[in-house]
Each structure stands twice: as C-alpha cells, then as structure tokens.
Amino acid sequence: MNNGEILTVRNLNVSYGEAKVLFDIDLGVKPGQVVACVGRNGAGKSTLLKSIAGFLKPLSGSVTCDGIGLIGLMSYDIAKMGIKYIPQDKKVFSDLTVRENLELGSYATKDYNWDQVTDYFPKLKQLMDRKAGHLSGGERQMLMIGRAILGSPKVLLIDEPTEGLAPSIVSHLRVVFGELRKKSSLVIVEQNLPLICAISDKVYAIKEGRIIKELAGESVKANICEQYL
Amino acid sequence: MMDTQLLISGVIFGLSIGSIFFLMAIGLSLCFGLMRIISLDQLLYYSIGAYITYSISLVTGSLWLGALAGMVVAGVISFGVERFIFLRIYERDIAFTMIASFGVLIGGVGVIKSIWGVIPRPVPIPMVTQISILGTEVPFYRLLVVVISLLVYVAIWLFLNRTIIGKAIRAGIEDVEHVEGLGINVYRLFTTTFIIAGTLSGLAGGLHAPLIMVDPQMGLEVMPFVFMVVIIGGLGSIKGTLISAFLVGQVVSLGSLIYAPLAQMAPFAIMLLILLIKPTGLYGSKLLKR
C-alpha cells in the first residue's frame, strides 16, 4: 500500500491504436474514500476506469491495489481481486432475470448474501423474476451496482452512474454511495457536480487525457469543479 | 398431386436431415454467439464423428458404440484445437479466426484422407425396422435420429437455463465484457462451449453416417445447409436453430420430391427472403461486436 492507498495509479499512459488518450495519470485512493473524476466528454475519464479494470492495456505506467500490480492481469482476475467496474451503458443481461443476473455476481464471488443488495435497493426484491431487459434505467443501474457489490469489493469504479436517471433515483444513489463507502472505496466518473461535491473526498479534473487539477477537502465545491467541465 | 405416402416419407426424411443440420448448427451458432468466431472446423468434427463411427462399428458391430466414440474423439480434438489455436486468436478479427478455422478444416480433411483413404465408406443402419405412419412404412432409425436431436435440444436448453455455466454463456452471448467484469473467467466458458459444439458435431456425423456414404468431403458438402440453418435461425439462438434446421430439412426433402433442383435452390431462396424481412434471422438477438 502506498501512503495508505488501496489503489494507486502512477504515470499511466493509454492509447487507442495510434491515438494516445491518457498522459502520465497519477491517482490515489485510500480505503473508504470517494474519489471523483470530472471533465468534459472525451477527456479520458472512462478510459481511465477501463484501464484500471483491465479492459485496456496501457502503454506504460503502473496500477496497484494493496501493493499488487494489476497491469497485465486479465480483467476477470482484477474483478476477482475486488476491483469492480460498473460501466455507464447500464447494460444488464437483458435475456436473464434479475435473479439470474445476481446469480452470476454470486457465482463469480461465491457471495450469496443478497440481503446486502436488497437492503440498498429494496425494489429489486419485487423484480427478481423479471427479465432485466424490461427494467427501467434506474432499476438497471440498481441491478448493476447490486451485482457488483457482491463479494464486498475493495474498490468500485463507477462510470456516470446518474446519467439519464430521475432526480429521485439520483437522491437514492447518493444515499447508497454514502453507505457503500463504509465497505469499499469508490472511484466515480460523473458530470453531476452537486452529487460529486456532496459525496467526494477528492476530485480529479481531467482535460484532454491529463489531470489538470486535484481538489480535496474544502476545495471540493461545485463552483470550483465547474471550471473544469 | 403428390402421393400421400411419398409426402409422409418426405417429411420424415426432412425431419431426420434437419436433425443432423441442427446438431451441427447449434455448435456454430453458440461459437459465434459467445466467442464471435465462425468455427468452420465444426464441419471437421462432424466428419471425424462419422469416420470413428465407421471404424468402431466395423470392429464391434455396434453403431451406438461407434457414435459414442465419435462424439468423444470429436470433443477431445475440438478441445485440442481450441487450446492450441483459437485461444491464441480470439482477440483477432473475425475474418482471421474464420480463415484459421478453414485451415483446420482443410488440414483435418487431409489427415482423414491419409488415414481412411478417399473411397467413400458405407456404415450399416443399426436397425432395419420400419414403422407405419398413416399407412406409410418409414425407417425407425430416421425417427430415432429426430428423437435424439430433440433430446439434445432439451438437454442444451436445460444446460443454458438451469445451470450457472449455461447462464454465464447466455450472458456472454449478450456481452462478454460485462461477464468478465463480474470476475468470471470467460475463456473457460469459451472452452466449454467449444467442446460442446465439437461433441455435438461428432454426434451429428455418427448419426448421419448410416444414412449416407462416409467420405472425406462430407463436411464441406453440408456446409452451405448448416450455414443457412444458423443464419435463418438467428445467431446465438438455440430455439431458432432448431426451427430453422427442420425448415431447411423440409425444404430440401420436399423440394426434391417436387422438382429435384429445388432441393438445392429453395433453401437459399428462403434464407434470402427471411434475411430481407428480418436480417438477424428468426430468433436472432442484437449481438454486440466483441
């Protein structure tokens, strides 16, 4: 662990073919911290999460979790180590029921305690036998988060969790994130600044693939973050 | 006007040939659905299944023992091919994997020729019993082939819907990256699927052997029909594959009764028609690019 960090990213450089999209990214997350990444569309925020989760192979740099290097590991091994990525597409396995979606989360982690999921998202209890393809956007997001928290992950990488969701669901997610941080660290890519400022300990502003500002403590305010959007 | 007896015989023939197409197409469909590869080498496992059935039934006198051995050998060889070839190229472009699988098929046909020669081999039908359907005598073996393929359909359905590995495969057909993201080793799913596909292709060869002459090119001869079944049914759909296989089987069988060239032409016409109406096939889902 570096400086008490559970997740450490150092000098990370990533490209899509010839196009370089991340430049010398440094990022640190301590246990129980909520860290947000803000920036315009195309700044490289999602690429950063995908690189940490092992879906993209970096050109150079290091990503460590509890001191163990993640570069070169398969994405399913990284997930097994407790670093779960929740993509922004809200894509659940639509042909499977909610129950079957959760079963897959349990199969991967051997954690069959679904009470933790239904405690956060009681609505899922009533939807267990519904095909996930028939869920609303908010319900899909609940299912994706529910599936990911099985196995008590160390770090949750959450990409644009509130995009396109109703304000009531955003409020609910805000409460859930507050609870989740008691067990896991969260790295959230998000455009919703009031939410970010309410829950984050640290904010990284990313522009054109580079971290241009790191805000922490009192400086995590919507009007300051807004400058970097 | 077609004679009733001829019609009943034609329908039974169509169902049995459709059953063989189904057993072969299901593997191709699952391999494309999950791994996004066009596994032409499945046609090789079909030929291997037929040749092993021929050799074992020649020695033991039992077609069933031969078909069982054919399934096992085809499954083992498909496992080896997956481990040594496909595992290293899954990430490549679909055209690359298709060419590689064609290479395996052609190479395998060469090996078959060197072992068994190029002369077509007959495999005796294990039972000559005929049963009467509406006054028409039909071979019991052909009905048995249909029953076996329906049992395979039920087994595959149960596997995909009732087991966690099956559910993971269904999820992977929708989005393999999300399955990986949960912490599931998708390459194990790939291997499992590939072995199932190879084994079923071997079974298809073993069951088909007594109905045709076994020859090295037999896989290439059925290739267009099997592809038609997969395309019409919809990639990745088991139900669609079964319905499509029986449809193509009937078109081939009844088409040949009406006008012989129709047997070759009509399935293509139906495939084009279905593609025009529903490009994803009868039961095809919207598959994401890997």
Looking at chain A, the number of H-run helices and the number of E-run strands are 9, 10
Do A93 and B175 count as a contact with CB atoms less than 8 A apart?
A: yes
A62, β-bridge pairs: A10
Contacts of A76 in chain B (CB under 8 A): 180-186
Inform me whether the pLDDT recorded for A1 exceeds 60.
no
User: If 0-12 CB within 10 Å is exposed, 13-18 middle and 19+ buried, where does residue B222 land?
Assistant: buried
Q: State chain B's mean pLDDT as an integer.
A: 91
pLDDT band at residue A215 using 50, 70 and 90 as cut-offs: confident
pLDDT digits (tens, 9 = 90+) for A35-77: 999 998 889 999 999 999 999 999 999 999 998 999 999 999 9
Determine the pLDDT at residue B173.
87
Helix ranges, B36-139 (H): 42-60, 63-81, 87-89, 94-116
Mutation target for A interface from B93, B169, B176, B178: give the one with most A CBs within 10 A: B178
> Could you give the count of Cα atoms lying within 13 Å of A66 in the half-sphere of its Cβ?
8
Opening angle at CA B68, ends B66 and B72, nearest 5: 115
Q: Strand A155-159 vs strand A83-86: parallel, antiparallel, or unpaired?
A: parallel
Do B236 and B285 meet the contact criterion of CB atoms below 8 Å apart?
A: yes
- The residue-averaged pLDDT of B155-172 equals 94
- pLDDT higher than threshold 80 for residue A219: no
Which tokens is B93 given? 């472009």
Q: Is A87 on the interface with B (CB under 8 A)?
A: yes
Structure confidence at residue A2 (pLDDT): 64
Bridge-based pairing of strands A7-16 and A60-65 is antiparallel
| pTM, full prediction | 0.89
Residue appearing with tokens 């070839």: B85
Question: Per-residue pLDDT tens for B255-283?
Answer: 888 888 877 788 888 889 988 998 888 88
Q: What part of B 182-201 touches A (C-beta under 8 Å)?
A: 182-186
Cα–Cα distance measured from residue B139 to residue A154, given in angstroms and rounded to the nearest whole number: 63
CATH topology classification for A7-228: Rossmann fold (3.40.50)
DSSP B264: H
- Reading the block at residue A155, the tokens are 């770090």
ipTM of the complex: 0.89
pLDDT value for B288: 47
pLDDT at B1: 53
**H runs (alpha helix) in A98-185:** 98-109, 115-120, 123-126, 137-149, 167-180
The helix or strand, by DSSP H or E, that contains position A9, with its residue range, turns out to be strand A7-16
- Our measurement of the distance from residue B27's CA atom to the centroid of its chain's CA atoms, rounded to an integer in Å, reads 6
In the structure, what pLDDT confidence band is assigned to residue A169 with cuts at 50, 70 and 90?
very high
Taking the Cβ of residue A104 and every Cβ of chain B, the question of whether any pair is shorter than 8 Å is answered with yes
